[in-house]
């Protein structure tokens, strides 16, 4: 096989495999990157710049075509793909996104050897600035913005009361919301500073210095933006149109800040060492490792996670029937379609509500099962709540009876008339738990045992001003309900 043909075939198969096996994860990044004015709308641009920088690095004649030590990257490549599999099983999207980036990096490292790995470090690091891991610092950026506003108002002697993320002025209240954190300005400023440093700087110390300056300018531009809006609100008695629409206000200030950044980058630019040849001395792009066996191994390792998932999925148990008896422990069971209250858990594959009665006692049982989970259609999900906006949850307690841990809360309706005692837990296969982290871990273990079913199990009992009697009743019901679920859910292997 000709060298050029092998190169194109290997890269083509890898790109095709990325889209085929990792499509759901790539699509989740696409959704983030196409949102106009969102924090990660620069994603596609960073990917394009990263590919260009890697391409340029491969054309440098001064770098030898050295494939040595490619064996070092075989295990990290396999681990990256398997990490994606584990994150996919437990539906942790962020880890899936980071794992794909690691797969791409170690795949290139296997093909191009140690020199290729060095050349790919910066492009891969640049793409990290487009992955939503940075959303976790929004709270920190908000806090810093509020502190700066507080200091500025004190200096200008403007009366204000600041609490949480709110600025109370004599003329009105201003909320420093998540969008006021300046995460988008922070990420774009760091990205531009990093690209400038990589393209025009040679010494590592100067590169780091420019990136730090870019970070500071990005933060400063947002602080000025938010503080200026607070001052405008005070001066105009909250009547300025900027109080309701300040999109361009922020971007104009940011553009001015970037002019300052580019000016500083020019002043700090260093001269290339004598060992670095001029840009005119370039050769064609260095080919990949010439061994077809290495290319084949790299492809197999890059997709070993999804391939293992396909193999294991074929042996997963599927829900065949869910037969509940008409009686259990002297309790009469009746399936109901409409209940006054239902857990606010979305997109369950199987929902069953039972009314159980004995003498003058009654309770509702809820079984919400997820057989085939995917992103947004999962048991442990931030939008899933035990009650909707029509009920207020209070007095939540964590308890256990007969090795069944459970949460117990009192729900009060908005009209303050109805009150319910709600007991609930997660059922992961045959194991009950109340911990979201433990639930994820159990999902991973059960997947390799051929079980992927998980469920919310809940008991609701109407109660008056005091729920003491209902609390005792719920404790009596919990072992029976747990056993009822395990015996009623039948799976085909």
**Residue 272 is assigned to a structural domain of this protein:** yes
Same domain, 84 and 56: yes
Per the structure, the complete domain to which residue 448 belongs is given by: 318-492
Q: What's the confidence (pLDDT) of residue 314?
A: 67
Q: What's the confidence (pLDDT) of residue 62?
A: 43
Same domain, 324 and 391: yes
Q: Which two tokens stand for residue 134?
A: 């940075």
Q: pLDDT, tens digit, for every residue of 204-240?
A: 899 999 999 999 999 999 999 999 999 999 899 888 8
The better pLDDT of the pair 452, 305 is held by 305
The better pLDDT of the pair 261, 164 is held by 261
Same domain, 26 and 146: no
Residue 3: pLDDT above 60?
A: no
Q: What's the confidence (pLDDT) of residue 283?
A: 47
pLDDT interval class at 61 (50, 70, 90): very low
Residue 10: pLDDT above 90?
A: no
Mean per-residue pLDDT, 142-163: 91
Same domain, 258 and 228: yes
**Residue 289 is assigned to a structural domain of this protein:** no
pLDDT interval class at 273 (50, 70, 90): low
Cβ contacts of residue 69 below 8 Å, gap of 6+?
Answer: 113, 114
Q: Which two tokens stand for residue 301?
A: 């390792």
Q: What's the confidence (pLDDT) of residue 289?
A: 52
Mean pLDDT for the chain?
A: 86
Q: What's the confidence (pLDDT) of residue 288?
A: 54
What's the structural domain count of the chain? 3
Same domain, 5 and 65: yes
Residue 42: pLDDT above 50?
A: yes
Same domain, 334 and 309: no
**Residue 357 is assigned to a structural domain of this protein:** yes
The better pLDDT of the pair 36, 290 is held by 36
Q: pLDDT, tens digit, for every residue of 365-418?
A: 999 988 878 877 889 888 899 888 888 888 788 888 888 999 999 998 887 778
The highest-confidence range among 95-99, 265-269, 320-324, by mean pLDDT, is 95-99
**Residue 478 is assigned to a structural domain of this protein:** yes
Q: What's the confidence (pLDDT) of residue 425?
A: 94
Poorest-pLDDT segment among 172-181, 270-279, 452-461: 270-279
Same domain, 393 and 446: yes
**Residue 348 is assigned to a structural domain of this protein:** yes
Same domain, 369 and 272: no
Measure CA 212 to chain center.
26
pLDDT interval class at 458 (50, 70, 90): very high
pLDDT interval class at 488 (50, 70, 90): confident
Same domain, 265 and 339: no
Same domain, 366 and 440: yes
The better pLDDT of the pair 322, 156 is held by 156
Q: What's the confidence (pLDDT) of residue 279?
A: 47
3-state secondary structure the chain: CCHHHHHHHHHHHHHHHHHHHCHHHHHHHHHHHCCCCCCCCCHHHHHHHHHHHHHHHHCECCCCCCCCCHHHHHHHHHHHHHHHHHHHHCCCHHHHHHHHHHHHHHHHHHHHHHHHHHHHHHHHHHHHCCCHHHHHHHHHHHHHHHHHHHHHHHHCCCCCEEECCEEEECCEEEECCHHHHCHHHHHHHHHHHHHHHHHHCCCHHHHHHHHHHHHHHHHHHHHHHHHHHHHHHHHCCCCCHHHCCCHHHHHHHHHHHHHHHHHHHHHHCCCCCCCCCCCCCECCCCCCCCCHHHHHHHHHHHCHHHHHHHHHHCCCCEEEEECCCCEECCEEEEECCCCCCCCECCCCCEEEEEEEEECCEEEEEEEEEECCCECCECCCCCCCECCCCCEEEEEEEEEEECCEEEEEEEEEECCCCCEEEEEEEEEECCEEECCHHHHHHHHHHHHHCCCCCEEEEEEEEECCCCCHHHHHHHHHHHHHHHHHHHHHEEEEC
Poorest-pLDDT segment among 14-23, 118-127, 309-318, 411-420: 309-318
**Residue 143 is assigned to a structural domain of this protein:** yes
Q: pLDDT, tens digit, for every residue of 282-339?
A: 445 555 555 678 888 999 999 999 999 888 776 555 655 567 777 887 888 888 888 8
In the listed set 283, 304, 332, which residue is the last one of a domain according to the structure? 283
pTM of the model: 0.78
**Residue 273 is assigned to a structural domain of this protein:** yes
pLDDT interval class at 275 (50, 70, 90): low
Distance CA 183, CA 165 (A): 16
Same domain, 251 and 306: no
Residue 157: pLDDT above 80?
A: yes
Same domain, 331 and 363: yes
**Residue 222 is assigned to a structural domain of this protein:** yes
Q: What's the confidence (pLDDT) of residue 7?
A: 64
């Amino acid at each position: 096989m000709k060298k050029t043909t092998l190169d194109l075939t290997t890269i083509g198969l890898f790109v095709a495999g990325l889209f085929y096996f990792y499509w759901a994860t790539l699509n989740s990044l696409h959704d983030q990157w196409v949102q106009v004015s969102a924090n990660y709308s620069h994603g596609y641009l960073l990917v394009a710049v990263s590919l260009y920088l890697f391409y340029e690095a491969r054309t440098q004649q001064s770098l030898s075509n050295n494939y040595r030590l490619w064996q070092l990257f075989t295990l990290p490549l396999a681990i990256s793909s398997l990490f994606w599999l584990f994150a996919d099983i437990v539906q942790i999207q962020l880890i899936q996104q980071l794992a794909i980036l690691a797969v791409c990096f170690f795949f290139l490292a296997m093909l191009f050897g140690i020199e290729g790995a060095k050349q790919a470090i910066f492009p891969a690091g640049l793409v990290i600035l487009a992955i939503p891991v940075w959303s976790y610092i929004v709270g920190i950026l908000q806090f810093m913005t509020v502190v700066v506003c507080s200091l500025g108002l004190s200096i200008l002697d403007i009366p204000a009361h600041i609490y949480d993320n709110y600025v109370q002025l004599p003329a009105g209240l201003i909320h420093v919301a998540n969008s006021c954190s300046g995460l988008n300005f922070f990420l774009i400023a760091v990205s531009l500073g990093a690209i400038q440093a990589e393209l025009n700087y040679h010494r590592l110390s100067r590169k780091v210095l420019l990136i730090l300056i870019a970070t500071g300018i990005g933060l400063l531009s947002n602080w000025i933006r938010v503080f200026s809006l607070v001052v405008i609100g005070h001066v105009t008695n909250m009547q300025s149109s900027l109080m309701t629409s300040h999109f361009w206000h922020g971007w104009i200030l940011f553009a001015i800040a970037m002019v300052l950044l580019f000016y500083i980058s020019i002043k700090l630019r260093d001269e290339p060492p004598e060992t670095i040849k001029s840009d005119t001395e370039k050769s064609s792009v260095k080919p990949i490792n010439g061994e077809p066996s290495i290319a084949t191994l790299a492809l197999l390792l890059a997709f070993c996670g999804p391939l293992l998932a396909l193999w294991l999925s074929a042996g997963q148990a599927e829900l065949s029937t869910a037969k509940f008896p008409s009686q259990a422990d002297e309790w009469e069971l009746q399936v109901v379609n409409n209940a006054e209250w239902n857990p606010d858990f979305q997109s369950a594959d199987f929902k069953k509500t039972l009314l159980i009665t004995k003498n003058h006692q009654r309770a509702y049982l809820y079984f919400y099962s997820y057989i085939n989970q995917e992103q947004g259609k999962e048991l442990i999900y931030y939008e899933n709540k035990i009650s909707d906006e029509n009920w207020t949850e209070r007095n939540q307690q964590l308890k256990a009876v007969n090795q069944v841990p459970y949460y117990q809360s009192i729900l009060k309706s908005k009209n303050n008339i109805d009150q319910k005692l709600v007991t609930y837990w997660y059922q992961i296969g045959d194991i009950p738990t109340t911990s979201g982290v433990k639930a994820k871990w159990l999902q991973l273990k059960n997947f390799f045992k051929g079980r992927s079913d998980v469920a919310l199990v809940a008991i609701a009992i109407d109660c008056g001003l005091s729920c003491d009697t209902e609390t005792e009743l719920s404790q009596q019901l919990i072992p029976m309900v747990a056993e009822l679920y395990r015996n009623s859910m039948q799976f085909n292997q």
